[in-house]
Amino acid sequence: MTYENLDSKLVNALLGDGRASLRSLAEELDVSVTTVSNHLSDLEEEGVIEGYTPRVNYDALGYDVTAIIQLKVEGHALPEITDSLREHRQMTSVYEVTGDYDVIAIGKFADTDGMNKQIKELLTDPDIKESNTSVVLNPVSENEQFELEIEQD
């Protein structure tokens, strides 16, 4: 049995079912449970697989307002601002970016009042020079991961 592309196939199988057992993965990939376990451990140690977590539908929990917040920040304050945003429990993603803005943060909120309150709190920081907030009307694709390409034998 060749193990070429096994890591990619293992990652793709886990993307399909992150709760799959070692046995079911071994059967699907036509390798031993020990081989799956060893490769999985290696992928975790290398940081390829960072953890296992449920995919939560925040809309179903009442967090149906998604905001994309763009910020212009004083250069020296960038690490402090991004750390602060990351600590806000409702911010699902925080990015340092190039372009017109320095930071983009995506947050989930129960309503526009809660969103407005958090944004106003952010804007009290004197190191934030400018902001632009967009409210998502319709999430066409969200938090999607993609399967790895498998080289043909």
Q: Tell me, what's the pLDDT at 27?
A: 96
Specify the pTM. Answer: 0.82
Residue with tokens 């890591």: 7
Every domain range in the chain assigned CATH 3.30.70.920 = 58-135
Every domain range in the chain assigned CATH 1.10.10 = 6-45
Task: Tell me how long the chain is.
Answer: 153
Report the DSSP pairing between strands 103-109 and 91-96: antiparallel
CATH 3.40.50 for domain 6-45, yes or no, is: no
Q: Tell me, what's the pLDDT at 87?
A: 93
CA distance 138 to 56: 17
- The stretches in the chain having pLDDT less than 50 are none
Q: Tell me, what's the pLDDT at 66?
A: 97
CA distance 90 to 110: 10
Q: Tell me, what's the pLDDT at 3?
A: 76
Q: Tell me, what's the pLDDT at 144?
A: 85
Q: Tell me, what's the pLDDT at 153?
A: 62
CATH assignment of 58-135, among 3.40.50.1100, 3.30.70.920, 3.60.21.10, 1.10.3720.10: 3.30.70.920
User: Average model confidence (pLDDT) for the chain?
Assistant: 93
What are the Cα distances from residue 42, in Å, to 36, 37, 139?
10, 9, 35
